Structure 1
C-alpha cells in the first residue's frame, strides 16, 4: 500500500501531527521568553550595580554622652568601648542605589540618637554603624535586618534584630536584653541582675556569667545552652523542650531566689555549671 504524496512531492512523516507541531511552537516560545527574562534580569542587576555606592563617614561622640540609641532598617551595628587614649567616635557606611538611607542624628542632653530608614522601593539600601563609647554608656540598638554586637560596656544593654545575630560580650549592667527573630543569641562574660536572651529561630548560648537574680533564655526552634556560675545556686530552674533532649546538671531548688528559665519547642536544653 502506497502513502499519498503531498503538494511538494514528499510523503508526510508518520509522527507529524498538529498536536506535536503545536508543542514544538510552545517550547520555542518558552525558550524565547526565558532568554528575554534572563537578559532583562541581567540588565536589571547591572543597573543596580552601576547605581549602587557606599559613602563612609566618621564623627566624634561628645564626652557627655551616657546613652546611645540606634534604630535602623537595614545594617549591622557594632558598639565597643574606647581604649585608653582612643577617642569616642561614630563610624558609618551608608549604601544607596535606587533608594537611599534617610539618616537622622540627634544629641539631646546625655543621649545620642541615630535613626535611619530606607522606606519602600527597590534597590539596595543599608546603614552600617560602628561606635566606640565610654564604658559607662547605656546602649539600646534595634535593626530589622543585620547583626548586633555590643562589647565592653559597663551598663545596661538592649540589642534587637529581626533577622541576624545578637552578641553581648564582656558587659556588666543591671539589665541585659538580647533578642533575634531569626538568628543566634550569645551572652558571654557578662554580669547582670536580670537578662533575657530570646529568638524565634536560632540557638541561645550563655556562658561565663556572674551570679544573678533572673535569667530567661527562650527560643522556638534551636538549642538552649546555659553555663551557670559554680559559685551560685541552688537555682529555681524551669527547663523544657517539646522535641529534643533536656539536661539539667545544676542544683535545683524551686524556692530559690535565683530564677532560670530555659525553653525551646524544637531543640535541646542544657543547663550546667561552669
Structure 2
C-alpha cells in the first residue's frame, strides 16, 4: 500500500516538470524562428540597399516638338515652362535594384513620346521626370504610382495617375483632364473650354478660373469644391452627394451654356463664387 501511494503522489510533479520542459522548448524554438526571421529580413533589406542605384541625366528637347506624351509605371512627373534664355530639356532620375526601368524615347514629327516600364519582380524600380517645355506645348502625362504636376503651359493638358495626386496650375488650354484612382486633384488659376477632374478616393478643388463651357468634377469618396468666377454665370449646375452636405450659392439657370457637374458619393459638395 505504501508503495502504491508513493507512486501515485510522485506522478503529478513529474507531469508538471514535463510540461515546463515542453514549454521551454517551444519558447526556445519560437525565439530561434523569430531571430532567423529578423536576421533574414534585415539581410534582405541590406541586399536591396546594396544593389539599389540611381542614375540622373538630362537631354535637350528638339525645337520642333509641340506635343509630349509620357507614360511610366512608377515615379513622379513634373512639367514647367522653359525660362527666358533657357533651352527646353528633359531631366530624369532612374532608380533600379533587382529590377531596372526599361525606357523608350521616340520622336514622331512634332510629338515626343517617353515610355518607361518596370515589369514584374521585387526591388525598387522608378523613373522620375522633370521637363521644361515651350509655353505652347500640349502635355499628356500618365504614371501608375506617383504624382503629376503641370504648370505654366498654354495648351491642352491631360494628367493621369492610379495612386497619387494631379495638380494643374497656371494653365490655359481648350481641354484639361485630371484623373486619379487614389489621390487629390487640384486645378488652380486655369483657363479652359472644357475640364474634367475625376478621382475615386480624394478631394477635388477647382479655383481661380475664368468663364468656361463645361466643368465636371467627380469623386467617389472625398469633398468636391468648385470656386467659380464671380464675373461669369449664371451656371447650369448639377451638384449631388449621397452622404455629406450640398451647398450651391452661385446664380443658376438650367439653360445656361456654362454647365457644372459636381458629384460625390461620400463627402461634401460646394459650388460657390470665388
TM-score bracket, normalised by the shorter chain, equals: over 0.9
Which residues in structure 2 correspond to 1:41-120 (within 5 Å)?
Answer: 41-120=41-120
CA distance in 1, matches of 2:71, 2:197: 19
Give, in angstroms, the shift of residue 124 of structure 1.
Answer: 0.1
Give, in angstroms, the shift of residue 255 of structure 1.
Answer: 1.4
Which residues in structure 2 correspond to 1:137-156 (within 5 Å)?
Answer: 137-156=137-156
CA distance in 1, matches of 2:244, 2:31: 48
Give, in angstroms, the shift of residue 17 of structure 1.
Answer: 5.9
Which residues in structure 2 correspond to 1:1-274 (within 5 Å)?
Answer: 4=6, 13=13, 16=16, 18-19=18-19, 21-274=21-274
Structure 1: runs of 5+ lacking an equivalent: none
* 8 A contact 1:94–1:128 mirrored in 2: yes
Of 40-49 and 248-257, deviating more is 248-257
- Cα deviation, 1:8-63, whole Å, max 9, x if unaligned, reads xx997488165554444333322221111111000000000000010000100011
- Cα deviation, 1:228-273, whole Å, max 9, x if unaligned, reads 0111111111111111111111011111111101111111111000
Q: Which structure shows the bigger proportion of residues in helix conformation?
A: 2
Of 15-24 and 170-179, deviating more is 15-24
CA distance in 2, matches of 1:167, 1:75: 15
Structure 2: runs of 5+ lacking an equivalent: none
RMSD across aligned positions (CA): 2.0
CA distance in 1, matches of 2:238, 2:23: 64
Give the alignment's TM-score, normalised by structure 1: 0.94
Give the alignment's TM-score, normalised by structure 2: 0.94
